[in-house]
Amino acid sequence: MTEKLLNHRAEGPTSAPALLLGPSLGTSYALWDKVAPELSATHRVVRWDLPGHGGSAADLIGPGATMGDLADLVLALADSLGLERFAYAGVSLGGAVGLHLALHHPERVSALAVICSSAHFNGSKPWEERAALVRREGLAGLAEGANTRWFTPGFTVPGLVADHRDADPEAYAACCDALGAFDLRERLPEIAVRTLLIAGRQDPATPPAHLREIADAVPGAALVELPGASHLAPAECPEAVLTVLRTHLDGGAKRGMEVRREVLGDAHVDRAQARQSAFTARYQDFISRYAWGEIWTDPTLSRRERSMITLTALVAHGHYDELAMHVRAARRNGLTPEEIGAVLLQTAVYCGVPAANSAFATAQRVLAEEDGTG
């Protein structure tokens, strides 16, 4: 039987880094309409609907649901799309799901943005009362006050208010159960994922103090407060949210440059940077961001293993100048001359003897230079 998944919308190149976007209680993935298309220029963006919201089935969760239950649904969606590792940004309830993922599944989350959310939602009592009200009377009455809870005076997004009104009451109430039981305050210092907090300065539901509390506890976290924003900042202040998200997500380029220097050495990278021009700047950024910031930082393979693969690929395509650079990198990554020779010997079988001849000559020259005999 096919597993039932959260309704979602995917945008952007399938080869780009993945970014999951989570919604707030009462909204659909339309919350991200003014942000997701822009982010999809550089990411594989997947935005999803809560159970009983938008296009997601109501029976994906039931009474007594937890944040872990919602996080498991998000992981099941990511697995179905082949997304082993992803950046994550979420609003309110969606942000709490992100905190849970970062704490309990850090190997899946490359970066986290928590928007207008909290590590706790003021205890269980108000959520028990809201869940009981919704189970008893439905969502029409609660939706009438959505503008006050969600936006600054005079602003609204009618489609999101309609999504609130049309949500399934039982699934909405189950989400309330999850919010009432959620409290990660004591465990925030354990979160090691690179984290950004975005607060709406006029947010009555999760005031900036809630985001400051997370920022103070999560090591290395950054906090941005948006003037003029209330609870649904991506809908009300999309350009500001987009700007800070892009800056945060581009952290891969910074980490990529660090790894590039560790593998290739400062001297090589400094020479490459010195030769950079306006014409090549975007290419250098591309290399740092994707080759070094995404591939070489993936913990699935060790750097030793990546060096062996890279040496083989360079021999196969006859890129001997690059091969010389990566022989040096292989030594820096812990390969012995004997191991490098074994890799090149194998290329004689699978890439051809002439290619291996040139590869051995290149590697011998580099190794001789390194031990001072060349």
Q: The domain that contains 344 carries what CATH number?
A: 1.20.1290.10
The three-state secondary structure class of 246 is helix
DSSP 159-214: HHHHHHHHS-HHHHHHHHHHHHH-B-GGGGGG--S-EEEEEETT-SSS-HHHHHHH
- How far, CA to CA in Å, does 105 sit from each of 67, 191, 304, 307, 313? 13, 10, 26, 28, 33
Q: Is the pLDDT of residue 254 over 80?
A: no
58 and 151 co-located in one domain: yes
Angle subtended at Cα 6 by Cα 141 and Cα 99, rounded to the nearest 5 degrees: 85
Q: Is residue 268 part of a domain?
A: no
- Kindly tell me the number of DSSP H helices and DSSP E strands found in the chain: 18, 7
101 and 230 co-located in one domain: yes
Looking at the structure of the chain, the number of domains it has is 2
| Site of tokens 């189970």 | 135
Q: Is the pLDDT of residue 2 over 60?
A: no
Q: Is residue 271 part of a domain?
A: no
**Which pLDDT tens digit goes with each residue over 260-269?**
999 999 988 8
Average the pLDDT over 272-289 and give the result.
Answer: 78
Q: Is residue 273 part of a domain?
A: no
Average the pLDDT over 35-50 and give the result.
Answer: 94
Q: Which of 316, 325, 267 is nearest to 291 (CA)?
A: 325
**Which pLDDT tens digit goes with each residue over 112-132?**
999 999 999 999 999 999 999
208 and 324 co-located in one domain: no
38 and 182 co-located in one domain: yes
**Which pLDDT tens digit goes with each residue over 155-179?**
999 999 999 999 999 999 999 999 9
- How far, CA to CA in Å, does 54 sit from each of 62, 91, 137, 240, 338? 17, 16, 20, 25, 59
- Among 32-36, 101-105, 122-126, 249-253, where is mean pLDDT lowest? 249-253
Residue-level pLDDT at 252: 60
Containing 22, the helix (H) or strand (E) segment is strand 18-22
Q: Is residue 265 part of a domain?
A: no
Residue-level pLDDT at 146: 96
**Which pLDDT tens digit goes with each residue over 319-366?**
999 999 999 999 999 999 999 999 999 999 999 999 999 999 999 999
Domain boundary among 219, 234, 250: 250
Ordered strands of the 8-11 beta sheet: 8-11, 44-48, 18-22, 86-91, 109-115, 195-200, 222-226
Residue-level pLDDT at 1: 42
**Which pLDDT tens digit goes with each residue over 94-111?**
999 999 999 999 999 999
Q: Is residue 259 part of a domain?
A: no
Q: Is residue 215 part of a domain?
A: yes
pLDDT band at residue 373 under the 50/70/90 scheme: low
Residue 222 CB neighbour total at 10 angstroms: 16
Residue-level pLDDT at 185: 98
Q: Is residue 3 part of a domain?
A: no
117 and 234 co-located in one domain: yes
234 and 305 co-located in one domain: no
246 and 308 co-located in one domain: no
Domain boundary among 250, 265, 287: 250
Domain boundary among 250, 270, 286: 250
163 and 30 co-located in one domain: yes
**Which pLDDT tens digit goes with each residue over 208-235?**
999 999 999 999 999 999 999 999 999 9
What pTM does this model have? 0.72
Q: Which residues form the domain of 333?
A: 301-373
244 and 362 co-located in one domain: no
229 and 316 co-located in one domain: no
Q: Is the pLDDT of residue 251 over 90?
A: no
N- to C-terminal Cα distance for the chain? Answer: 65
Residue-level pLDDT at 93: 98
pLDDT band at residue 294 under the 50/70/90 scheme: confident
Give the C-alpha separation, 63 to 127, whole Å: 12
225 and 336 co-located in one domain: no
Q: Is residue 101 part of a domain?
A: yes
Residue 247 CB neighbour total at 10 angstroms: 12
Percent of the chain's residues with pLDDT above 70: 98
Give the C-alpha separation, 95 to 113, whole Å: 7
Q: Is the pLDDT of residue 142 over 60?
A: yes
332 and 208 co-located in one domain: no
Q: Comparing 299 with 85, which gets the higher pLDDT?
A: 85
Task: Work out the mean pLDDT of the chain and round it to a whole number.
Answer: 94
Residue-level pLDDT at 122: 94
